[in-house]
Chains A and B, each alone.
Chain A
């Protein structure tokens, strides 16, 4: 990451907004489309004010049709634009999934590189904000499982800006999932100038010696809190994966070889969640370093509950602490 001198304390929403604005100023082919992204600035205000700056030609509130948002973005990208398409909530991504799965992900490969799809599909993601049904899902595994797509989930305002700029400039389709509970949870000093955080590179957020925690998005902060509470008894290393596809296997393996233990934390249901893949990577590449089974702290294998039971569903500090203690004591 380039070091910029001037920084401002901003929320993740503001950081994303700044990234979009700066990329649109810099590159006339960057455009935004999605439901209510125009005058309204998106339901979470990530595109706030961009309509006034760039006009309705480049910040486009579309008809209510997620398949078309993704499908038209594919065509726009094939023909030279860099669309940043927004799906209003991750729970409404399934209609867009067919287009991403069948076409965005495959076009480069199918055409042997003749046609490419440099688009970003953004969506607010995950739970923890007491939302309606279908507004709190964690669908990353569906996209990670699809060869040809990249999947990025930021964990802070600073991360969000640098990763979104990289995603927009990336020559391949990127699914960019924004943890909505972090949107306004805290402010962070973010460089005002443009900077990028490379896709495919994890970030060791806290170094430790006895156990590795792999997390991303909103689960990073919860994991860090668990690690801090245990700081007198267990030396925990915490890694923010940032990009889930392609995942930074080298960073994971290096850390687990050092600590000999790993706990994976994610909001998505445990069954076939990305934790399963990470666990397998560790088994395949760091087995002889392991002192305990790799464990997962994840959402239960149930539909996401309505707000009253939401707190029972997501991994929290206590659950993570318990798993860290059990794994170290194994």
Chain B
């Protein structure tokens, strides 16, 4: 006997098309005020990004991973979270981190080379950035599992990229989430490139969303430059998560910048491809919709830009005015109680 045991299909969701035309039948229940807030958060993320790139070039901070082009993949999901939900980012989710409540000066302090930038102020529930690719998906499972055991209504939204889907940690995380029915939403930000490796060389699978199927999870692919689609998919996934059904959401977007400030993408990718994606810009798209809807005008647009610039410049001032850490800070957070050896090393440093 030979028979088919399982067929699967992967849904694709787009609510706002490239011209900002909205499929009203799919539009999530967002008020005009919500839409404005999301737009403001996207602009804020972009201005933050542009400012940090500029400061990096000026030598005022170190390596930075730009999020340009991925604003809708971050703001939609983060907007869907409640204060009780956790955010577990990779290293490119500054936009989501800011919206979750980490002040811009804290994030800037991190990229300026100071651990205090990873000291997410309590009670904001998000982990520090995760630099080793994909490892954080397992922490997301553990956090969600703990929340479930304690009977809390709290889900965990984690981010990783297309490259991370090739790593064992990602697969083990999906598998554990499926087995233990943990309240997880795994965002896979498919931005086309894992440093220099194109998505086509990352996996032979047609979508990254379908990785969910093998582990008994829900999987959906969304237009990652459409903030209504990313919001809607996450909102829905969170409802499933609270009921113990984890999801994978693949956001198809594009990394408009180099991998980090230490990279030069011109070496490996076609500028025409970048131009093609420039036309799909997530902020322009939302703006077109808002103009058509009559909730946007030049004055508001300028005000949002100016407010963002002002907020960032105040944050930079605040961050750069921060007192240097004391040398003892190098030693005092390694363990809860400083062992004798670290005390001696501190004394050696100070002598």
Task: Please tell me if A73 contacts chain B, counting CB pairs below 8 Å.
Answer: yes
The answer for the CA separation of A65 and B215 in the assembled complex, in Å, is: 14
Q: Are B335 and A108 in contact (CB under 8 A)?
A: yes
Mask, A63-74, CB within 8 Å of B = 1, is: 101011011111
Cβ of A172 and Cβ of B333 under 8 Å apart? no
Of the candidates A72, A77, A148, A250, the one whose C-beta lies within 8 Å of that of B334 is A148
- Pair B334/A108 contact, Cβ less than 8 Å: yes
User: How near does chain A come to B213, taking the closest CB pair, in angstroms?
Assistant: 17
With A113-B333, A246-B335 as known contacts, state yes or no: A71 contacts B141, CB within 8 Å. yes
Contact of A80 among B132, B150, B329 (CB under 8 A): B150
Provide the bound-state CA to CA distance between A81 and B150, in Å: 9
- Judge if B140 is at the interface, Cβ distance under 8 Å: yes
Q: Which of B324-351 contact A (CB under 8 A)?
A: 329, 333-336, 339-341
Question: Does residue B51 face the partner (Cβ distance < 8 Å to A)?
Answer: no
**CB of A114 within 8 Å of the partner chain:** yes
Nearest first, the 8 A-B pairs at minimum CB distance are A75-B142, A71-B138, A246-B339, A79-B146, A68-B172, A112-B119, A75-B139, A72-B142
14 more A-B residue pairs beyond the given contacts A60-B180, A65-B172, A172-B335, with a C-beta to C-beta distance below 8 A? A65-B176, A67-B138, A67-B169, A71-B142, A75-B140, A75-B141, A76-B143, A79-B147, A83-B142, A99-B138, A110-B118, A112-B116, A114-B121, A247-B341
With a cutoff of 8 Å between Cβ atoms, the chain B residues found around residue A98 in the complex are: 132, 135
Decide: A72 and B138 in contact? CB cutoff 8 A. yes
Smallest Cβ distance from A255 to chain B, in angstroms?
A: 16
Q: Does B38 contact A (CB under 8 A)?
A: no
Chain A residues with CB below 8 A from B168, complex form: 65, 67, 95
Q: How far does the Cβ of B97 sit from chain A's closest Cβ, in whole Å?
A: 13
Pair A75/B144 contact, Cβ less than 8 Å: yes
Is A147's CB within 8 Å of the partner chain B? yes
**B290 interfacial contact with A, CB 8 Å:** no
**Distance from B112 Cβ to chain A, minimum over Cβ atoms (Å):** 15
Residues in chain A near residue B339, CB distance under 8 A:
200, 246
Whole-angstrom CA separation of A246 from B336 in the bound complex: 12
Q: A78-B142, A102-B132 are in contact. Are A68 and B173 (CB under 8 A)?
A: yes
Q: Does B120 contact A (CB under 8 A)?
A: yes
- A171: chain B residues at CB < 8 Å are 336
Chain A residues closer than 8 Å to B180, beta-carbon distance: 60
Question: In whole angstroms, how far apart are the Cα atoms of A72 and B135 in the complex?
Answer: 10
**A71, A73, A172, A200: which has the most chain B beta carbons within 10 Å?**
A71
Are B142 and A116 neighbours in the complex by a CB distance under 8 Å?
A: no
Interface size on B, residues (CB 8 A): 42
Q: B31 in the interface, Cβ–Cβ < 8 Å?
A: no
A111 touching B334 in the complex, CB below 8 Å, given contacts A72-B141, A103-B135: no
Query: Mostly helix, strand, loop or mixed at chain B's interface?
Result: helix
In the bound assembly, the distance between CA atoms of A276 and B299 in angstroms comes to 70
CB nearest to A243 among chain B residues: B339
Any A CB within 8 A of the CB of B115: yes
The winner among B135, B172, B173 for most chain A CB atoms within 10 A is: B172
Please determine whether A115 and B173 come into contact, CB atoms closer than 8 angstroms.
no
In the complex, per-residue mask of A18-49: 1 if CB is within 8 Å of any chain B CB, else 0: 00000000000001000000000000000000
Is there a chain A Cβ closer than 8 Å to B175's Cβ? yes
Q: A residues engaging B (CB < 8 A)?
A: 31, 57, 60, 62-63, 65, 67-68, 70-81, 83, 95, 98-99, 102-103, 107-116, 147-148, 150, 170-172, 200, 246-247, 249-250
- Inter-chain contact B118/A79, CB cutoff 8 Å: no
Question: Does B145 reach chain A (CB closer than 8 Å)?
Answer: yes
Would you give the shortest CB distance from A217 to chain B, in whole angstroms?
21
**A124 to B140 Cα, complex, angstroms:** 28
Contacts of B329 in A (CB 8 A): 112
The smallest beta-carbon distance between B334 and chain A, in angstroms, is: 5
Quote the shortest CB–CB distance from A299 to chain B (angstroms): 25
Contacts of A75 in B (CB 8 A): 138-146
- B9 in the interface, Cβ–Cβ < 8 Å? no
Give the distance in Å from the alpha carbon of A250 to the alpha carbon of B344 in the complex.
Answer: 12
B128 adjacent to A111 (CB under 8 Å) = yes
Kindly state whether residue B4 has any CB partner on chain A within 8 Å: no
Q: Which of B88-132 contact A (CB under 8 A)?
A: 115-116, 118-122, 127-128, 130, 132
Chain A residue numbers with a CB within 8 Å of B145 are: 72, 75-76
CB-CB under 8 A from A62, the residues of chain B are 176, 179
Contact of A67 among B115, B172, B340 (CB under 8 A): B172
CA distance A249 to B179 in the complex (A): 45
| Pairwise interchain contact A74-B128, C-beta atoms closer than 8 A | no
9 pairs from A and B in contact (CB 8 Å cutoff): A71-B135, A75-B139, A75-B142, A103-B139, A108-B334, A109-B334, A110-B128, A112-B119, A150-B335
